[in-house]
A and B are shown apart, each in its own frame.
Chain A
Amino acid sequence: MRPATKDFWKRFLGNRGALIGLFILISVVLMAIFAPLIYPKDPWAMVQRPFLPPLDAQGFWFGTDTLGRDIGAGLVYGAQVSLLVGVVSTVVALAIGVTLGAVAGYYGGLVDDALMRFTEFFQTIPNFALAIVLVAILQPSTESVIIAIGVVSWPPVARLVRGEFLSLRSREFVQAARVVGQSNGQIIFGQVLPNTLSPIIVMASLMVATAILLESALSFLGLGDPNTMSWGYMIGAARTVIRQAWWMSVFPGVAILLTVLALNLVGEGLNDALNPRLARKGR
């Protein structure tokens, strides 16, 4: 292991919050991967009597919902949806944000102006409102939810990457690369971008958390994919009976809370570990 990497792990593992976050996150990931083994039945299957409270029947620790579907199965399969949407939409947002930010920051001038005005245009529209409109236009499905979340989440990435590029592009190693005769593309992707990775990684981990929240909020409003069981859908469907059946909305709510919290803890940990001086200053 390279000394820098070793240092990183030492700092990261020394952060108790980050460790707890990582532990929860790994549990959620394992749950999502092994969902078909834990609950071989479809989460939509009506398997017990409706409105069954938690712990009332063998094997139904989390109770059943208004149609007699196992809440436990919903939680496990919901993890798949949340993680999938969270990760893929973040990748989409990064792809757009990094590209635009890098181009704007590297070239500067008119290109920068044009791209930043374009970015501001997106920033002035409230995220969630835009996501709702996009999903409604595209028809609710997993793909359209991912696209919508990706499209509303990239502007902060673009601004961050542009800032980094602005400060890095006049550094000596960049000038050296230029003197050697590297093309703009080579410089952007080979020289500057690798040096901006650590803030991007930190931001990405937090974006996954935001994306999971956005997906849940969309599903809560009935704009999720009607064919996939997600945590937001479970809460949305249970809200009309919240006074009779608390467990139908509480368990998926806790699942969202824990996952998002875990991602934030991990993000903080990454931040501290990747920027040690900044972290020490903060304490």
Chain B
Amino acid sequence: MLKIARRALLASMVASGAILAIAGSATAQEPKYGGTLNVVIQPEPPGLMLGLVQNGPTQMVAGNIYESLLKYDHDLNPMPSLATGWDVNDDGTVYTFALKEGVTWHDGEPFTAADVVFSADVFLRETHPRLRVSLEHVETIEAVDDYTVRFTLKQPFGPFLGIFEVGTMPMVPKHIYEGTDFQNNPANATPIGTGPFKFDEWEKGSYIHLVKNEDYHVEGLPYLDDVYWQVIPDAASRAVAYETGKVDVLPGGSVENFDVQRLVDLENSCVTGKGWEYFAPHAWMWLNNRNGPLQDKRFRQAIMYALDRNFAKDVIWNSLGTVPTGPVSTKTRFYTDDVPQYPHDPEKAKALLDEMGYDGEPIRLLPLPYGETWQRWAEAVKQNLNAVGIEVEMVATDVAGWNQKLAEWDYDLAFTYLYQYGDPALGVARTYISSNIAKGSQWNNVEGYKNERVDELFEQAAVAFPDSKRKELYDEVQKILVEDVPVAWLLEIEFPTIYRCDVKNLVNTAIGVNDGLGDTWLDR
């Protein structure tokens, strides 16, 4: 890929999926074999056994070692991985997967349907809280033969085909884990998967070394000889490591946003915001629907009109990301833009405040204590709100205090961002359904929004079948929510992946670098 001027690149990324087309044309070039890739890993993962630990850095490294049945393209369409195909029965309750033959674990044992049943039904049910919730909809998981697996559901479950992502349902080897204490199995230190790279060495505090899997089940892959994941604890040092050539790839979130521009402007440096579609980090401001003027819908709408969300995107996030229209990310399934719009319109905001008789009662703003970017963002929002006459007092806090204040509902406005996991039933409903109003968590319905119709629609939509029926329900719920403004949606975040332009095919799926470097090659 030629080095493309940053602005042009960003414009194309924002405008459409043009980056895909560019990447597509690049693959026409003959890939080269060999070479070592150096990638930053931040922070150092607590472990690499993906079935036990699913935080970001673990998944980023272990996505090379482990695989699941499916992958997802940037539009979240399922693609074959360890499964070559799948069938759904007419009422959406029985899913049958055909597994790839001739796949072996890194220790040479064959991968079969028994491994799938063990992974999903035994291992992950015990160790993976997020998957466990989805698996409650599953009645039985059976191996029909060595290369066919059948999932029988209690009732249709819309997001079902979306839970076969490697971080959600990694395949773990039955012959190693069956009958053992999963958490304390010594094999956790030397993870065995089916992926394109094998675990070699982990020098704690320094690097993780993975080597090419010569017996990888995809003919001709991987291209790279080995990969070093470099542990560099300080953001400025990570930037320097990239400048000096010690590392080739800075995955999303490894440098400060304000440093992105400078690094991208370097010679032979490219950037992409792709590869976050599955997670679709959605940033918003919690509006405490219980407190003072925030109880009034018009006040919350006024906040939406007062916010200059495009300014925040351009200035604070370096033009990366998309201004959302509502609760569902444009990258997530069942998104609709047929909802009330809230452009930056201070006059309208003032009119709404006048209409409700807002008396200038000050409200508190709790920024997300995740570094400079979020602090600047909060300051910009405070100015936006001041401009329409809302008095805002900024509250300073650390991460522990932020967690506590949200969990105890002790706030008026608070920043946050949450993942959507590709389906509203998995990543959206939890924020708005009234059964999720409970103190003690900052991931549930923290704002205290209550609407029976919304509860009903989310409940029906999760189990409706087929997708066209789900779409109707989700369209309606989005309209209601955007009208009611339970929270103020700010940005669909894209964390930029910065890399040398001669690293090819780095980001290919909806989870980006997390899906492994099997297709990646070096044009050197």
Contacts and interface: CB of A to CB of B under 8 A. Distances in A.
Interface string A198-238: 00000000000000000000000011011100000000010
Interface in B142-175: none
Contact of B394 (A223, A226, A243): A226
A139 B396 contact: yes
Contact of B258 (A139, A140, A240): A240
B395 A226 contact: yes
B380 A46 contact: yes
Interface string A245-273: 00000000000000000000000000000
Contacts of B375: 222, 237
Given A44-B382, A67-B380, A240-B372, A223 B258 contact: no
A240 B380 contact: no
Contacts of A183: none
A66 interface: yes
Interface string B366-407: 010000100110011011001000000111111000000000
Contacts of B367: 226
A19 to B, nearest CB: 40
A66 B256 contact: no
B261 interface: yes
Contacts of A136: 398
The binding surface of chain A is classed by DSSP as loop
A202 to B, nearest CB: 35
Interface in B340-380: 367, 372, 375-376, 379-380
A227 B258 contact: no
A14 interface: no
A42 interface: yes
Contacts of A243: 262
B524 to A, nearest CB: 28
Interface of B: 256, 258-259, 261-262, 311, 315-316, 367, 372, 375-376, 379-380, 382-383, 386, 393-398
Contacts of A241: 258-259
A240 B256 contact: yes
A241 B397 CA distance: 23
A66 B396 contact: no
A141 B256 CA distance: 26
Interface string A133-145: 0001001110000
A50 B261 CA distance: 14
Contact of A67 (B259, B262, B376, B393): B376
Interface of A: 42, 44-46, 50, 66-68, 136, 139-141, 222-223, 225-227, 237, 240-241, 243-244
A240 B257 CA distance: 9
11 contacts: A42-B386, A44-B382, A44-B386, A136-B398, A139-B396, A226-B367, A226-B394, A226-B396, A227-B394, A237-B375, A243-B262
B222 to A, nearest CB: 36
Given A67-B376, A226-B395, A240-B372, 17 more contacts: A42-B383, A44-B379, A44-B383, A46-B311, A66-B315, A67-B316, A139-B395, A139-B396, A139-B397, A223-B396, A226-B367, A237-B372, A237-B376, A241-B258, A241-B259, A243-B262, A244-B261
Closest 5 CB pairs of A and B: A226-B394, A140-B396, A226-B396, A240-B258, A241-B258
B221 to A, nearest CB: 39
Contacts of B376: 66-67, 237
Contacts of A46: 311, 380, 383
B205 to A, nearest CB: 25
Given A44-B382, A44-B383, A222 B396 contact: yes
A212 to B, nearest CB: 20
Contact of A50 (B256, B262, B315, B398): B315
B296 to A, nearest CB: 25
A223 B382 CA distance: 18
Contacts of A44: 379, 382-383, 386
A244 B239 CA distance: 14
B318 to A, nearest CB: 11
Most chain A CB within 10 A, of B261, B396, B398, is at B396
A241 B376 CA distance: 13
Contacts of B380: 46, 67
Contacts of B394: 226-227
B262 A227 contact: no
Nearest to A139: B396
Nearest to B393: A227
A223 B397 CA distance: 9
A67 B372 CA distance: 12
Contacts of A237: 372, 375-376
Contacts of B386: 42, 44
A244 B266 CA distance: 13
Nearest to A141: B396
A267 B380 CA distance: 40
B396 A244 contact: no
Contacts of B256: 240
Nearest to B259: A240
Q: Which of B261, B380, B382, B386 has the most CB of A within 10 A?
A: B380
A24 B394 CA distance: 33
A119 B354 CA distance: 57
B204 to A, nearest CB: 28
A139 B395 CA distance: 8
Nearest to B401: A139
Given A50-B315, A136-B398, A237-B372, A66 B382 contact: no
A67 B315 contact: yes
Nearest to B239: A243
Nearest to A225: B396
Contacts of A223: 396
A45 B383 contact: yes
A141 B376 CA distance: 18
Contacts of B259: 240-241
Contacts of A45: 383
A222 B396 CA distance: 9
Contacts of A66: 258, 315, 376
Contacts of A227: 393-394
B370 to A, nearest CB: 12
A246 to B, nearest CB: 13
Contacts of A139: 395-397
A140 B311 CA distance: 28
